[in-house]
Structure 1
Amino acid sequence: MTDLTRRAALALAAAAGPVTWAAASTTTAGAATGAGGGATWRRLPDVPANTTDWHDAIPVGEPYWTQLGLAGPLAGAHGDHLIVAGGANFPETALTATRANTLGKVYWTDAFVYSRRTGGWQAAGQLPDAVGYAATVSTGDGVLVIGGEGYRGGPGGTLQRPAEKFADVYYLRWDARGGRLVRIDLPPLPRPMSYAVAGIVDDVVYVAEGGDFVALGLDHPDRGWTTLPRWPGDPRTVAVGAAQDGRFFLLSGRAQHADKSWTFYRDAYAYSPRRRSWERIADLPWCVTAGLAHPTGRTGLVVVGGDKDIDRWNLIEHHVALRAAAPPGSPEWHRQNDIVTWIYDHHTGFNGELLRYDTRRDRWTTDGWFPGPPPATTPAVNWDGDLVVASGEVGPGIRTPRVWQAEF
């Protein structure tokens, strides 16, 4: 076991002892408001502000400093506690993903725990590494964390040095009595992965990313990872995955090709461990790239958020390519950068509709709307059957600190 709260040099909150944030109010949105279709939504307290004051360009501790929101946080439930840690954002004042800044995308180490009993957040120290975009699955043994990317040893920004991909696999547990996070390592992935998706069927975790599909028996992790046949479709990343009805589902995703063009996928697949084979299921009605999926009942799968606007994505990529072709700092470079910034600033958000899949009828239907800004790049947290959506991205470079809980 590794005590994750001992990085005191980086943890301002840990030095001051546990701190609790509680909600000033709770918002409920459900079928009665037309927001959630078959779900009843409840807003939990926002994720607290990051506490690690590691660079002068970040206004940590200023009166106006608050949680900007985190893309790709490690998020999951362990018992009566919700864990949210790591993740990435653009924290510099008035500077965004397309405006010149010092740090670029920042990856954090701060960890927070929300208690279902108290209804408040508590600082939980620091992760040993700054990490985001890992696959996470909530289990009775802790939050299973798979891969991700970021920086070893502390926070970092992509304009300082490139982020590193990780092959780490471990459980994160909340020791309520000791008030600390505990990490229990498992065998690492066959290769480093970020933006992977995972699901557990019969004590085996299945992981898909790029063109790889691998599995680890959680009852005998010492036996290591097994490489399995890939789904009968193209390699992809930023897909959506979940386990339901004895199968692992892989949905949507995107891929960039050798000629720099992109494909956004609507195809979907189900892997049956018992049959040891893939089956193509009904195509999604639209792309859900970077969205999330949550099992409901015995045969339902709800998909939330993600991006379906291919035209907007292609427009951004077109002007990014024109910017890259222009001499840095030239009038044409600035013109193309202004266009990209304008498109980002006027982004209308991700998929607001909820999709529901029936595993027995092989059919997709719409089932209401997400009650807030639709999310992308955040895990689906299964908390005793409820779906929790913690933070995430709501536009290019834009995050939200909001946390939503849905009962189906």
Structure 2
Amino acid sequence: MPANGVDWHPAIPVGEPYWTQLGLAGPIAGAHGDHLIVAGGANFPEPALTATRANTLGKVYWTDAFVYSRRTGAWSDAGQLPDAVGYAATLSTSDGVLVIGGEGYRGGPGGTLLRPAERFADVYLLRWDGRRLHRTELPSLPRPMSYAVAGIVDGVVYVAEGADFYGLDLDRPDRGWATLPRWPGDPRTVAVGAAQDGRFFLLSGRAQHADKTWTFYRDAYAYSPRRRRWDRIADLPWCVTAGLAHPVGRTGLVAGGGDKDIDRWNLIERHVALRNAAPPGSAEWQRQNDVVTWIYDHHTGFNGELLHYDTRRDRWSVDGWFPGPPPATTPAVDWDGDLVVASGEVGPGIRTPRVWQASF
């Protein structure tokens, strides 16, 4: 992927030709015709500085947009989004890339240590005409949300996040979003979702509780629009939160990547609590911060195993491995049946600029 084009803060004192694309977590990514659109997203651009090392910007959300042409095999600069957006749900359609929600900053890039990111309720289509991106507005979500999952069944887009489930008829968008029955399981975020075999599938996810501990979910559900009913399907062998899912054939789903190491998450939270209880800058504060930093630095990567789900047999099986460091928090792009994975996060605070394509 090309480099971000905006050198917007003195804490990032480099520009072309030295500025390189670090990669983006939570990018807008989708296919429109013969073009792959990648835009927005977030990363940590200050060299070697992430969550536990003092930095100026924190996580930075971007406005840059890029387009890859399947015909020429080249990337093009597609200008800037009006807002810096990451962690939206995105879907590829014949009318453009559907963008649902997300979080970031109005009007331009921003960093989380400068001001908090805000969540968005925006819904729109991005379309590339060969020269520039066009944006078509659709009805806003009933509430702002990020890290949602979405899928389209029979012209209706379904979106799930937290404890909420909504639907929008793309043929009658004037009717707005309908609130639909929630799945018979716990609220969750950073789940995995996809449409297949006339149903919308909600897989895995995670939740943080009042005591800061985490639950990583292996349960999975399928929503039938025809019956307006959720069914619990076979549990996944492990959690795939922040991973991806892609339809295969008429009755298959491939799911994988993501994070299943709940013990590491809870260990981090314990040491964060000990750090927060110590006087800032004290020896104990620094010791606990060093422990948290060590855990982050020695992350071994996300889970590379791929799972296959048979919708007719209600059965999961292991179906191979991702061919490189598996990215998380990036959309699964359906490009004429192929799976495209653009950029993403390969470790805490670490992004990849690589783009993968697979045919099933």
Query: TM-score scaled to structure 1, two decimals?
Result: 0.87
Counterpart-to-counterpart distance in 2, 1:304 and 1:383: 18
Instruction: Choose which of 31, 34, 37 in structure 2 pairs with 1:83.
Output: 37
Q: Is the 8 A contact 2:254 2:306 kept in 1?
A: yes
Contiguous gaps of at least 5 residues in structure 2? none
Counterpart AA for 1:126: Q
Report what 1:118 is aligned to. 72
Report what 1:256 is aligned to. 208
Q: Is the 8 A contact 1:247 1:270 kept in 2?
A: yes
Counterpart-to-counterpart distance in 2, 1:165 and 1:192: 5
Counterpart AA for 1:50: N
Instruction: Choose which of 182, 188, 211 in structure 2 pairs with 1:236.
Output: 188
Report what 1:17 is aligned to. none
Superimposed CA distance per residue, residues 162-220 of structure 1 (whole angstroms, 9 cap, x where no aligned partner): 000000000000011xx100000000000000000000000000000000000000000
Counterpart-to-counterpart distance in 1, 2:97 and 2:285: 44
Report what 2:267 is aligned to. 315
Report what 1:306 is aligned to. 258
SS at match of 1:341: helix
1:186-265 alignment, distance < 5 Å: 186-265=138-217
Superimposed CA distance per residue, residues 32-57 of structure 1 (whole angstroms, 9 cap, x where no aligned partner): xxxxxxxxxxxxxxx11111111011
Counterpart-to-counterpart distance in 1, 2:55 and 2:241: 27
Counterpart AA for 2:171: D
The alignment yields a C-alpha RMSD, in angstroms, of: 0.8
Counterpart AA for 2:66: F
Report what 2:56 is aligned to. 102
SS at match of 1:275: coil
What is the Cα deviation at residue 62 of structure 1? 5.4
Counterpart AA for 1:90: F
1:4-403 alignment, distance < 5 Å: 47-61=1-15, 63-176=17-130, 179-403=131-355
SS at match of 2:5: coil
Counterpart-to-counterpart distance in 2, 1:158 and 1:293: 29
Superimposed CA distance per residue, residues 274-329 of structure 1 (whole angstroms, 9 cap, x where no aligned partner): 01000000000000010010001000100121000111111111111211222221
Q: Is the 8 A contact 2:104 2:119 kept in 1?
A: yes
Counterpart-to-counterpart distance in 1, 2:282 and 2:60: 27
Superimposed CA distance per residue, residues 12-43 of structure 1 (whole angstroms, 9 cap, x where no aligned partner): xxxxxxxxxxxxxxxxxxxxxxxxxxxxxxxx
Question: May I ask how many residue pairs the two structures share in their alignment?
Answer: 360
Q: Is the 8 A contact 1:166 1:193 kept in 2?
A: yes
What is the Cα deviation at residue 97 of structure 1? 2.2
Counterpart-to-counterpart distance in 1, 2:96 and 2:272: 41
Counterpart-to-counterpart distance in 1, 2:203 and 2:174: 30
Q: Give runs of ≥4 in structure 1 deviating > 6 Å.
A: none
SS at match of 2:150: strand
What is the Cα deviation at residue 129 of structure 1? 0.1
Q: Is the 8 A contact 2:89 2:101 kept in 1?
A: yes
Q: Is the 8 A contact 2:192 2:241 kept in 1?
A: yes
SS at match of 1:214: strand
Q: Closer, same or farther in 2 for the Cα pair 1:60/1:110, shift >3 Å?
A: farther
Higher relative contact order (CA 8 A, sep 6+): 1
Counterpart-to-counterpart distance in 1, 2:215 and 2:303: 18
Superimposed CA distance per residue, residues 81-138 of structure 1 (whole angstroms, 9 cap, x where no aligned partner): 0000000000012312221000000000000000000001000000000000000000
SS at match of 2:211: coil
Q: Is the 8 A contact 1:77 1:142 kept in 2?
A: yes
What is the Cα deviation at residue 63 of structure 1? 4.7
Q: Closer, same or farther in 2 for the Cα pair 1:60/1:130, shift >3 Å?
A: farther
What is the Cα deviation at residue 65 of structure 1? 2.3
What is the Cα deviation at residue 405 of structure 1? 0.2
Counterpart AA for 1:130: A
Superimposed CA distance per residue, residues 220-240 of structure 1 (whole angstroms, 9 cap, x where no aligned partner): 000000000100000000000
SS at match of 2:116: coil
Contiguous gaps of at least 5 residues in structure 1? 1-46
Counterpart-to-counterpart distance in 2, 1:102 and 1:74: 25
SS at match of 2:269: helix
Q: Is the 8 A contact 2:212 2:269 kept in 1?
A: no
Counterpart AA for 2:191: A
Counterpart-to-counterpart distance in 1, 2:16 and 2:167: 45
Counterpart-to-counterpart distance in 2, 1:230 and 1:305: 25
